[in-house]
Amino acid sequence: MPRAPIRVDLRIGCVRQRAVSFAGVGTVAALAPLLVQMAPSADVLAMATTEIDISKVQSGQGIKTQWRKQPVFVRNLTPKEIAEANAVSLSELRDPETLAQRTKPGHANWLITLGVCTHLGCVPLGIGEGENKGPYGGYFCPCHGSMYDTAARIRQGPAPKNLMVPDYKFTSPTTVQIG
């Protein structure tokens, strides 16, 4: 004897659809505050970029500023320092980079690096007037003896990498924006 067709109750399907929709909306409502909480705070967003006036930095001088709570070295290289950096063979460097790779085209005299030693995060000397620049004329980290040349490239000591060059651009001939 043939079986009678089973009647699908449309109300059960509708109740299931409403329950799944309600659960989905509840999940989104529960997760939204957690996602908003992970967004960067206003003070972090304010430090995402910083502008530096370099108009008063003379050739051979440097300044130390901050970006994202880290020191930044801005150095106006002399023609002699540029020549010394360009004379170094890349085969002599632990982390080979030319000065041209570390500066912007047309601004080879402006070297902008994070002032954080790549060994253990110390702040090297050499940016301030009269500070020890080490035997290579760049920067010297007194904590563990890392020595950098005029292009902030590691030359001697335990640091594995050159001082990092942050993202930056010249917004005018006398203003640099980092970040």
Q: For residues 135 and 119, what is the distance between their CA atoms, to the nearest angstrom?
A: 18
**Choosing from 18, 144, 161, 169, which is the catalytic residue?**
144
* Residue 88: partners with Cβ closer than 8 Å, 6 or more residues away: 149, 151, 153
- The DSSP line for 106-139 is TBTTEEEEE---TTT----B-SSTT---TTTEEE
User: Do 176 and 52 form a contact (C-beta atoms < 8 A)?
Assistant: yes
- Nearest of 58, 152, 40, 170 to residue 104 by alpha carbon: 170
For the question of residue 144 being annotated catalytic, the response is yes
- Nearest of 66, 166, 158 to residue 117 by alpha carbon: 158
Catalytic annotation, residues: 144
